[in-house]
Amino acid sequence: MRMLLDITIPHEPFNSLVRKGVTGKKLGEILDALKPEAVYFSEHDGKRGAVVIVDVADPSRIPAIAEPWFLTFNADVKFRIAMTPDDLKKAGLDALDKKWA
């Protein structure tokens, strides 16, 4: 299942890690472990943030995906299920309309 991670990273400990020169290494380790489909870094409500798209084959993988962000950066991580247009086509919306309308 494709999931969109909405990650918000507080200024600390990120600033301290930048000053130590280890932030790139830490981010690289996390992303190497996650093997994301895509990653976009941006601002989230005045803080550093990222949107990461990963494939989650089993819900038991969620802690392994979230904990590196929690433990390394004290980040907040939100998980959202994401569908492609092909996924939506398979959803059977027409049949749902007949059942629930």
Domains of the chain: 2-100 (3.30.70.260)
pTM score of the predicted model: 0.87
Largest CA distance in the chain: 60
Q: What whole-number distance in Å separates Cα of residue 25 and Cα of residue 23? A: 5
pLDDT tens per residue across span 3-19: 999 999 999 999 999 99
For residue range 51-75, list pLDDT tens digits in order: 999 999 999 999 999 999 999 999 9
